[in-house]
Amino acid sequence: MEVAVINIDGKETGRKVNLNETIFGIEPNDHAIYLDTKQYMAGQRQGTHKTRERAEVMGSTRKLKRQKGTGTARFGSIKNPQFRGGGRVFGPRPRYYGFKLNKKVKELARKSALTYKARENKIIILEDFSFDVPKTSKMAGISANLSLPNKKSVIVLPEQNNNIYLSSRNLQGVEVITVSDLNTYTIMKASTLVLTESVVDVLQSTL
């Protein structure tokens, strides 16, 4: 599968990149995409939720009334969960929501996500570029030249470039990440995936 390489002005450079069919043209596995996305989103959860249980609530431990002869139910502690201000029964505790996923499943998920984007013609191959200084107007111009939609578009760089990142930080609908941070969730959520030439070589050598 050949895709034309365009420059930051939105014009074709005359070069073409051959996308490997074993990465961008496989039979997609929806369940692998589901598992990888689920793992990513689970890892984003803080898991810091906590409520006070009976042993952690402040209050007296004296028995409020005698055991028998009152005609009502028996109870002892004011920290009883049935009382207002009492401890919660089986409340949430801090925990880690992440889980293990096999490396081959994660690779299959990323290949499946890239295949979907390639089928939908939502992959743009961009000539490698760089900024000398951060300039939001330059990044806005590139976004307009590439006719990127207002929805989230992801530009993938081969390595961290602080000037490009700072230039895109205030633009709504444009996200800049490195190829090492590219995951299934980001690929599927992106309306358009913009890969620089160097990124294609990295993907085809690592996946």
Strands 153-157 and 123-126: unpaired
pLDDT given at position 61: 85
**Residues in CB range of 44: below 8 A, 6 or more apart:** none
Q: What is the pLDDT of residue 76?
A: 87
Cα–Cα distance for residue pair 200/2, rounded to 1 Å:
12
The residue written with tokens 């598992």 in the block is 35
Give the mean pLDDT of the chain.
93
Question: Residue 149 — pLDDT band, cuts 50, 70, 90?
Answer: confident
Please report the pLDDT score of residue 33 as a whole number: 98
Residue-level pLDDT at 93: 95
Q: Can you give the pLDDT at residue 148?
A: 87
Q: Please compute the mean of the pLDDT values over residues 126-154 and round it to a whole number.
A: 91
CA-to-CA separations, 19 to 37, 72, 142, 179, in angstroms, rounded: 24, 77, 23, 16
Chain segment 16-66, per-residue pLDDT in tens: 999 999 999 999 999 999 999 999 999 999 999 999 999 999 998 889 899
- The pLDDT tens digits of the residues spanning 84-137 come to 999 999 999 999 999 999 999 999 999 999 999 999 999 999 999 999 999 999
Q: What is the pLDDT of residue 207?
A: 85
Whole-number Å distance between alpha carbons of 195 and 192: 10
- Label residue 150 by pLDDT band (50, 70, 90): confident
> In this model, does residue 145 exceed pLDDT 80?
yes
Which pLDDT does position 186 carry in this prediction? 96
In this predicted structure, what is the pLDDT of residue 75?
A: 85
Where does CATH 3.40.1370.10 sit in the chain?
2-46+100-206
Given the structure tokens 């609530």, which residue do they identify? 57
174-178-180-186 Cα dihedral, nearest 10 degrees? 0
The CATH number of domain 2-46+100-206 is 3.40.1370.10: yes
CA distances in angstroms from 117 to 72, 90, 92, 166, 171, listed in the order given = 67, 44, 39, 26, 23
Q: Report pTM.
A: 0.84
Distance of CA 81 to the CA centre of its chain: 39
Residues 126-137: tens digit of each pLDDT:
999 999 999 999
Which residues in 60-198 belong to E strands, given as ranges? 123-126, 153-157, 174-178, 192-196
